[in-house]
Amino acid sequence: MKVQVIALAAALSALAGSALADGRAQATLQTPLTKPITVVAGDAFWNCQGAACVADPASEQVLTVQACRILEKQTGPITAYGIDREVLPDHLLARCNATH
């Protein structure tokens, strides 16, 4: 019985975290794009135009260095990256932009 309760609690926690993290992801580019592009990164479709990229809705999988790097490879250096009010910290943003 304890194992079932623990498993159920873990499953509900994962679902709740996923639901709470869904939101609008935004990235600010250092250099504006000359034409709009769409990039798939972190299980989201990013629509990029000018100096802004937006993915809506976006899950917590977007808020990773790996997803940021995929976007960065297509757009160039990123100066800000996050979902709603949760942003990638500066030290992780630096890792995202490590190729430049």
- Tell whether the model's pLDDT for residue 11 goes beyond 70: no
User: What is the residue-wise DSSP string for 14-81?
Assistant: HHHHHHHH-EEEEEEESS--SS-EEEEETTEEEEEETTEEEEEEE-GGGSSHHHHHHHHHHH--EEEE
Q: Note the pLDDT of residue 59.
A: 87
Q: Look at residue 25 in the predicted model and tell me its pLDDT.
A: 96
Whole-prediction pTM: 0.76
The domain spans of the chain are: 22-96
CA 10/CA 46 separation, integer angstroms: 30
30-87 pLDDT, tens digit per residue, is 999 999 999 999 999 999 999 999 999 988 899 999 999 999 999 999 999 999 889 9
- Cα–Cα distance, 12 to 14 (Å, whole number): 5
Nearest to 95 by CA among 55, 75, 61, 67: 67
